[in-house]
Each structure stands twice: as structure tokens, then as C-alpha cells.
Structure 1
């Protein structure tokens, strides 16, 4: 099974495809607070037929790595993103 991760800028979300089928996504809102660029990850969704395969973890990891690379801080409004960061302290510095 092939996996593809994409940052869909126009839809303000990160997407994950399994065998070219959209399996889930994490959407966000973007803003600037003073000099700081912020992405508020608001919602993570895995479609029912893809649950239990680590889809959400993969898309959240991709989103966090992309935000870091682009110089954004993160607000983990989504409970799953907050939980993921809590379990992966290497991303704690992004919260702010």
C-alpha cells in the first residue's frame, strides 16, 4: 500500500492518501501574532475505513514537521494533536 502526504495550501489542510485514496486530513487556520506565524491545527479526521492504521499519527507528524520547516508555531486546538505532542516531546517547542 502506497502512502502519500500533501500540504493542500488552498484547502488549509494536510492530507494523507493511501493507494491514491484520501484517507484523512488535519485542517488548520493560519495567522500572524506580531512577528510570530501561527498554525492552529483545529481538526484531525481519519475516514472510517482507514482507522486503526496510524493514519492520524502520520498526518499530524507531517503537519508538525512542515510547520517547523516553514517557521510556524502551533496551537493544538484538536485534542488528537495535543495528545500527539504530549507523547512526542520533540514537538513541544512548536506550541506557542
Structure 2
């Protein structure tokens, strides 16, 4: 299943989506973009796809895109908070809320 996961930024819906080779939605993360800060608000993997690394692939793609765009990240979602604790290579992106 690993090679069948495609991650895209569905900008019209303000979310990153993971889809399988048949185009079925596997998971997503909702975000809000305000200026140069992107806030990841809610990540969800559909039950039938849990345990296959879907959320991690979405997080990696979305954080890599944030870095490439020069954005700061606010991890409002518990999944992103935990992911960022484990993946310190993204620590420089985190924007402390004021």
C-alpha cells in the first residue's frame, strides 16, 4: 500500500489529502493559512487505512511544502504536535503562538 499513497494540497478545501491508486480518500489534514503562518487543525485517517503510515506521509508532505514556501507552522492538531516532537528536523518551522 505504501507506493499507492498520493498526497496533494487541495487548496480549495484548505486541506492536504491522501488518496490511493484508485483515487479513494485515505486521510486528510485541515489547515488554515494566515499570512506566513499555516495552522494544521485536524488530521484524520479513515478507519480502513489506519496503521499504514497515511497520517505520517501527509504530515511530511505538508511540512516539506510549508518549508519550501517559507511558512511558519502552528500545530493545533494533537497529531501534528506529537509528530513534531518526534521529528525534530521540522522544529525550526514551529511558530510560537503569541
Calculate the TM-score normalised by the size of structure 2. Answer: 0.90
Which is helix-richer, 1 or 2? Answer: 2
The number of residue pairs the alignment matches comes to: 92
Deviations along 1:47-72, whole A, 9 cap, x unmatched?
A: 01100111101101110001111111
Unpaired runs of 5+ residues, structure 2, are: none
CA distance in 2, matches of 1:69, 1:15: 18
Q: Distance in 1 between matches of 2:93 and 2:48?
A: 31
Q: Which residue is equivalent to 2:80?
A: 81
Please report the TM-score for the alignment, with normalisation by the length of structure 1. Answer: 0.92
Equivalent in the alignment of 1:3: 5
Out of 27, 35, 48, the position equivalent to 1:24 is 27
- Structure 2 matches for 1:1-96, cutoff 5 A? 1=1, 2-19=4-21, 20-32=23-35, 37-96=36-95
Q: Which protein has the bigger strand share?
A: 1
- Aligned counterparts of 1:24 and 1:85: Cα–Cα separation in 2: 19
* Contact 2:37/2:74, CA 8 A, preserved across alignment: yes
Instruction: Give the 4+ runs in structure 1 shifted more than 6 A.
Output: none
